[in-house]
Structure 1
Amino acid sequence: KSRSLRSIAGASVDGASVPASRQSRSFLLRPSGLPPPVIVASAGADMENGGIPSSVHATVFKQSESLEGKGHEIKGYDFNQGVDYPQLLKSMVSTGFQASNLGDAISVVNQMLDWRLADEAIAEDCSEEEKEPVYRESVRCKIFLGFTSNLISSGVRDTVRYLLQHHMVDVVVTTAGGIEEDLIKCLAPTYRGDFSLPGAQLRAKGLNRIGNLLVPNDNYCKFEDWVIPIFDQMLKEQTENNTLWTPSKLIARLGKEIKCESSYLYWAYKNNIPVFCPGLTDGSLGDMLYFHSFRNPGLIVDIVQDIRSMNGEAVHATPRKTGIIVLGGGLPKHHICNANMMRNGADYAVFVNTAQEFDGSDSGAQPDEAVSWGKIRGSAKTVKYPMHPLGPWLSKRTPNSRGTHEPVIKFILELERVGSSWCLWCPIGRLR
């Protein structure tokens, strides 16, 4: 547009011929033999702008508000500096598009990890303990982690296990598949397949497909052989000791019994991190409970106790802030957000999923929709991102972690083994 206006500015106001350079181009657009067009300035033309109407000039060359110092200049990583992964991650903020959302997600997770009660002003109505500097420095943000079962089916399970092993989250919510797949992998492996493998052929071979992953049906037979005796023992304890089982108590028992360090449920049990699953029967675990109800009926699992416990995790978090990190959508996302509504909303939220909001689904809803329900505070730091930004966790540990740890500065790019697009961005190393 500006080039066209400047060419007009070079024309004669009195109808003289267009410069030769313009004539040659003009003849290409007209029937042969016609003379060059005559350009006449309209009324009100600004003679100082070469005859361009002042309204046109003002519209096209509208003066900009200065953005200097108000935001990140768009600039990518310079690989001439070598491959510095922390700096590469840091550059995401200024790269633009979804890379900037990744940078924002890392920033919000860092804020969750860094927050201490000591950062806040002392409230007038706080207890004497809450006024003590040592106590205030020890109080951290309470982090709720939610994820869907496909992540545990994939190699992201190992990342989740790391977080639970080193007590980097405080509460977990997942689906039934997120429970059973973790346990089944301790009994038999999952393999890489292909998204286009024909279902009928796989069924004939006893192979179950999860995206591009294959789970032999024998794995579920092994799971049944392992879990049914545990249900028998739980029923015995219910009968003899009046034990009242809930989904989270059942899950903790399975984590105790699996005795496998590759299991995130094992580490959740070891570190006393509650794992909630209100949809416990929606999967193979539900199948096992169904079969058990015929063989040895009577086992009761009370979901009402768990909703009180889950909501209590948020309600009684005070004076801590709360942070939400949800990988995927559906039940885990809503259950965590709804619990935080009981405390007038979470203080931080990172949603990682590929769902869209246009169908009205909770999975695809933007964080601001949760603000309207009181599930996230209006002042909260939030971001929605369609990938997996777990890097900020993985180079730091809480004081009660075991052993020493040197930060590993590298990317996990083993997609052949992982088999999940969620791992395209799964950096190791803290963003600073």
Structure 2
Amino acid sequence: MDSNAPVTDFITRYFRHFNAAALVDAAKGYQDQLDQGAKMLVSLAGAMSTAELGRIFAEMIRQDKVHIISCTGANLEEDIMNLVAHSHYRRVPEYRDLTPKDEWALLEKGLNRVTDTCIPEEEAFRRLQEHIFKIWKDAEAAGERYFPHEFMYKLLLSGVLEPHYEIDLKDSWMYAAAEKNLPLVCPGWEDSTMGNIFASYVVKGELKASTMKSGIEYMTYLADWYTDNSDKGIGFFQIGGGIAGDFPICVVPMLYQDLERTETPFWSYFCQISDSTTSYGSYSGAVPNEKITWGKLGIDTPKFIVESDATIVAPLIFAYLLNM
């Protein structure tokens, strides 16, 4: 094997059949899109930030192999939480054996569990809260409104978190995205810790809900971005299921069905990594061909599905694309 790219060479040589072959095909298809000048949307569902995908995803961003991101509110904030509180995280490798009493004990210690990893509430959530609240409040006082990710970019670029950094900045995908001011949509942001905190300030009368731009505004933002960037195609690389994938993929039928912009092209590539059980009628479990009937993918769109754990598959595909 070529010692300069051992991971890429290993995958190419030994991943020959079934899900392994699908992984290689999907990676090659992604590279083909980039070679043709197409742009790529990557959607992040699940707890990919807490799984520390940023260690490799940040480099994908730096090397311009990702052009827009769709992610859940949890992924938006948990990458930053890991940045400032990593040493306080607790790994629980025996998580499958925990009893309800064990889980309650973790709660009493302020440890919120995500599979085998516990996020420390005080060091992670509260450490961010005082700083992000000031940014929210300052924007409101100035009569300004921003998207959730724009507020997070401001937080990272302001420098106020620097004394708290506990990992190398190069391993934070949110910092890499903030540096590039990378386009991002975060549908359903309200369903996140920071979203809940923002809502609590609205209930207390300390912030106005209108200071935060809405999901509808995210969709119109995405519609404009898609229209402006689709001349050479836009691919869709979906990690997991849920709203992070379902929301952005719908921009295409919205553009040409509801806005009647019939010249709108379909997504030029589609790959989903998921261990969701394949099921017609299920958004996350539907096979790619079903998306043709919804006006999202075309007959000739390259389509791939890798039925496996995204924490294993995504880093391997990214390593292939980075020629590692």
TM-score, with structure 2 as normaliser: 0.81
Matched, 1:106 2:17: no
Q: Is the 8 A contact 1:146 1:327 kept in 2?
A: yes
Q: Is the 8 A contact 1:152 1:182 kept in 2?
A: yes
Q: Which amino acid aligns with 1:311?
A: A
Aligned length: 293
Point out where structure 1 has 5 or more consecutive residues left out of the alignment: 1-78, 116-139, 390-419
Matched, 1:277 2:186: yes
Matched, 1:318 2:223: no
Matches within 5 A, 1:189-208: 189=86, 190-194=89-93, 195-196=95-96, 197=98, 198-208=102-112
Cross-structure match for 1:296: 206
- SS of equivalent residue, structure 2 residue 291: helix
Q: Residues 197-253 of structure 1: CA distance to partner in whole angstroms, max 9, x if unpaired?
A: 331221222211100011122122212223211211121122xxxx23333433433
Cross-structure match for 2:153: 252
Residue 352 of structure 1 deviates from its aligned partner by 0.8
Residue 149 of structure 1 deviates from its aligned partner by 4.4
Matched, 1:428 2:319: yes
Matches within 5 A, 1:7-406: 85-92=7-14, 95-115=16-36, 140-189=37-86, 190-194=89-93, 195-196=95-96, 197=98, 198-218=102-122, 219-238=124-143, 243-257=144-158, 261=169, 262-293=171-202, 294=204, 296-300=206-210, 301-303=212-214, 304-341=216-253, 342=255, 343-358=264-279, 360-387=281-308
Residue 423 of structure 1 deviates from its aligned partner by 6.1
Residue 384 of structure 1 deviates from its aligned partner by 0.5
Residue identity (%):
17
Residue 360 of structure 1 deviates from its aligned partner by 2.7
Q: Is the 8 A contact 1:149 1:179 kept in 2?
A: no
Structure whose CA Rg is larger:
1
Residue 324 of structure 1 deviates from its aligned partner by 0.7
Q: Is the 8 A contact 2:41 2:234 kept in 1?
A: yes
CA distance in 1, matches of 2:176, 2:314: 22
Q: Which amino acid aligns with 2:32?
A: Q
Q: Which amino acid aligns with 1:224?
A: Q
Q: CA, structure 1 residues 97+213, in 2 after alignment: closer, same or farther (shift >3 Å)? A: same
- SS of equivalent residue, structure 1 residue 153: coil
CA distance in 2, matches of 1:382, 1:216: 39
Q: Which amino acid aligns with 2:108?
A: A
Q: Residues 329-385 of structure 1: CA distance to partner in whole angstroms, max 9, x if unpaired?
A: 111111221123333411111111111232632111111111111111211111001
Q: Is the 8 A contact 1:145 1:324 kept in 2?
A: yes
Q: Is the 8 A contact 2:135 2:151 kept in 1?
A: no
Q: Which amino acid aligns with 1:365?
A: A
Point out where structure 2 has 5 or more consecutive residues left out of the alignment: 256-263
Residue 281 of structure 1 deviates from its aligned partner by 0.9
Larger helix proportion, structure 1 or 2?
Answer: 2
- SS of equivalent residue, structure 1 residue 188: helix
Residue 387 of structure 1 deviates from its aligned partner by 4.2
Q: Is the 8 A contact 2:230 2:265 kept in 1?
A: no
Q: Residues 124-172 of structure 1: CA distance to partner in whole angstroms, max 9, x if unpaired?
A: xxxxxxxxxxxxxxxx211111011400011212222222233321111
> 1 or 2 for the larger relative contact order (CA 8 Å, sep ≥6)?
2
